[in-house]
Amino acid sequence: DGGITQSPKYLFRKEGQNVTLSCEQNLNHDAMYWYRQDPGQGLRLIYYSQIVNDFQKGDIAEGYSVSREKKESFPLTVTSAQKNPTAFYLCASSILTPSNQPQHFGDGTRLSIL
């Protein structure tokens, strides 16, 4: 089945450690997105990418990095510079044309601090 796969489902980070969250899609979508969700709140955009080897910062990019080497993959690294990384991380993808098409989401990765 086509969809978006995020792994792992749960992840624990030690102080000073970088961790990478995986996001893979087989929907042949051009655009991919990373969001962060804190308890009781809506989603906030971290980074997005509309084409391979190109990406843009969202509202809360500080302490995060991404890469887009392949169309189907958009990994997110939570660096040690992110001082409050505990959150639910969601990856999404969409087609770009027509521009009104919805984003579709994976089931998320829950990151916690040890």
Q: Which residues bind another protein (CB under 8 A)?
A: 4, 6, 31, 35, 40-45, 48, 50, 56, 58, 88, 90, 92, 94, 96, 99-100, 102-108, 110
Q: How far is the CB of 11 from another protein (least distance, A)?
A: 14
Nearest to 108 by CA among 92, 94, 85, 93: 92
Residue among 96 and 113 whose Cβ is closer to another protein: 96
Q: How far is the CB of 40 from another protein (least distance, A)?
A: 7
The burial class, CB within 10 Å (0-12 / 13-18 / 19+), for 60 is middle
Nearest to 34 by CA among 94, 104, 90, 95: 90
Residue among 78 and 90 whose Cβ is closer to another protein: 90
